[in-house]
Amino acid sequence: MMTEIIKKLINLLGEGKVKFSQEDFEKYGVDWYKEIEPDPTAIVFPKNEDDLKKIVLFAKKENQKLVISGGRTGLCGGATAANKEIVVSLEKMNDMKWLSKKNQVVCQAGAITDNVKIFVAKQDRLLPISLASSSSSSIGGNVATNAAGSKFIRYGSTKEHVARIKVMLANGEILSLKKEIKKDATGPNLMELFFGSEGALGIIYEVTFNTCEQPKYLENILIRTSELDSIRHHILAPEVKTSISSIEYWDENCQKLLGDTPESAYFIIVELSSDSKKEINLCLEILSEKNINIALLNSKQSDEIWSKREDLPVNLASMGAYKMDISLPLENLQSFLKEIKQLSADEIFSFGHLGDGNIHINIVSENNQDKHIDEVYSLLKNYDGSPSAEHGIGQRKKEIWTKFEDYQDKYKLLQTLKKSMDPNNILSPKVFFE
């Protein structure tokens, strides 16, 4: 229906940049978390900074709320418009350019992660953002959630590679923030405010990334074990850890789901990368001397196993799994997972990033889902864990502010920042807050 607000938006931006059909609402009004029904007023598609500023100033003048949308791969409802908000889709802001002198890539927020990685690879460089959703996720979303992924142990999260960002505030003001010099004591690094802010403090619309050298050598090894602590001591020993770029595991239930017959409680794949073949061989030699079940994989085997790892979240989603994204200290991981197993032998599936303690708990249960969620959170508090390792808060996880006492002071400060930076609560109004 052509409302007065839609007419004004078309007059402001042009007909081609405004959509308002039910089909568009269902496509652009919601992310991968499907428990919140989309109900936006319109979808708008800025193509540049001027368009974006027009939209923000329009929202301020008309007292309209905005939800920022990128690749919509989030799992917490952060990009879902359920209360007549205007969805600002950044998908048409997808330009990128290469800065050869600095080995940096500058990209608009709507650029798809894999497209940027391919663009960087053509320069013989690496953008080490490794996510299961990278074929769909957007650069702006990665920064706004500080996405991590499977290569965190080697390269860190998205923010570790950001040199500059451009952000538009709720009043239309533009901020250009940088952190290009390692030793820079000019006050706090204010870019940190926007990493993980999920669009609630400002709209990240341009990002400049530092890139890395491409590793010359890669090897993958498979480990089967029922004792994660021994793996932690061996694999994460200093003489080995420096060559590790990724360690992924999945439990017995996940192994069965993927069509395998479990030989042990945990199936682990480790990726080694280095510029030195000698360094890789030394790691393999050290590991071969340990009392662990280890196998060197050829390229075909590696591709097949990594493909299975990518299939896991998709398969679990098709089963209606309730997904929990948590992290805890590595020394607590084995005990935590043993207790998780005792909660349910067949309704809880776990996999994740073994090198940094980030676990994805998936609950598949018709009758015990809520019970298991409470049990997992209770155990997590006992083991000093975080209820959101890399998926953010969005609209889905707002209860953690009260369930986890350690986060209440953070929440109070976040409220103060929100009121200061967005007093009319225009940007992503339901993210973090009620």
- What one-character-per-residue DSSP string does 261-321 give? --SSSEEEEEEEEES-HHHHHHHHHHHHTSSSEEEEE-HHHHHHHHHHHHHHHHHHHHTTP
Quote the pLDDT of residue 393. Answer: 93
Least confident of 169-178, 235-244, 381-390: 235-244
Global pTM value = 0.93
Query: For residue 419, what pLDDT band results from cuts at 50, 70 and 90?
Result: very high
Quote the pLDDT of residue 132. Answer: 84
Q: What is the pLDDT of residues 319-334, one digit of tens each?
A: 999 999 999 999 999 9
Q: What is the pLDDT of residues 262-309, one digit of tens each?
A: 999 999 999 999 999 999 998 888 888 887 888 999 999 999 999 999
Asked whether the predicted pLDDT for residue 98 surpasses 90, the reply is: yes
Strands of the sheet containing 293-297, edge to edge, are 293-297, 217-225, 266-274, 244-251, 348-353, 358-363, 322-327
Quote the pLDDT of residue 177. Answer: 96
Quote the pLDDT of residue 250. Answer: 96
Token pair 């989603």: residue: 317
172 CB-contact burial (10 Å; exposed 0-12 / middle 13-18 / buried 19+)? middle
Query: Higher confidence at residue 227 or residue 49?
Result: 49
Asked whether the predicted pLDDT for residue 416 surpasses 80, the reply is: yes
| Closest among 321, 377, 380 to 35, alpha carbons compared | 321
Q: What is the pLDDT of residues 104-130, one digit of tens each?
A: 999 999 999 999 999 999 999 999 999
DSSP string for 385-398: -BS-SSS--TTTST
| CATH architecture of the domain covering 1-214+398-434 | 2-Layer Sandwich (3.30)
What is the residue-averaged pLDDT of the chain? 93
Asked whether the predicted pLDDT for residue 1 surpasses 80, the reply is: no
Asked whether the predicted pLDDT for residue 364 surpasses 80, the reply is: yes
Asked whether the predicted pLDDT for residue 12 surpasses 80, the reply is: yes
Query: CB–CB of 400/176 below 8 Å?
Result: no
Output the six-digit token pair for 220: 């993958």
DSSP code of 14?
Answer: -
DSSP string for 184-222: --SS--GGGGTTT-TTSS-EEEEEEEE-EEPPSEEEEEE
Rounded CA gap, 353 and 346, in Å? Answer: 21
Rounded CA gap, 336 and 81, in Å? Answer: 36
Q: What is the pLDDT of residues 208-234, one digit of tens each?
A: 999 999 999 999 999 999 988 888 888
Region 170-195 average pLDDT:
91
The CATH homologous superfamily to which domain 217-382 belongs is FAD-linked oxidase, cap domain/gating helix (3.40.462.40)
Percentage of residues of the chain with pLDDT beyond 90: 81
Q: What is the pLDDT of residues 20-41, one digit of tens each?
A: 999 999 999 999 998 899 999 9
Quote the pLDDT of residue 237. Answer: 81
Query: Higher confidence at residue 94 or residue 240?
Result: 94
Asked whether the predicted pLDDT for residue 355 surpasses 90, the reply is: no
Asked whether the predicted pLDDT for residue 89 surpasses 90, the reply is: yes
Quote the pLDDT of residue 185. Answer: 85
Quote the pLDDT of residue 236. Answer: 80
Q: Where are the chain's structural domains?
A: 1-214+398-434, 217-382
**Residues whose CB falls within 8 Å of the CB of residue 387, separated by 6 or more in sequence, listed in order:** 324, 326, 377, 380, 397, 400, 403, 404
* Cα separations in angstroms, 229 against 236, 248, 254, 329, 337: 10, 15, 20, 12, 11
Q: Is 394 left (phi over 0), alpha (psi -120 to 50) or beta?
A: left
Percentage of residues of the chain with pLDDT beyond 70: 100
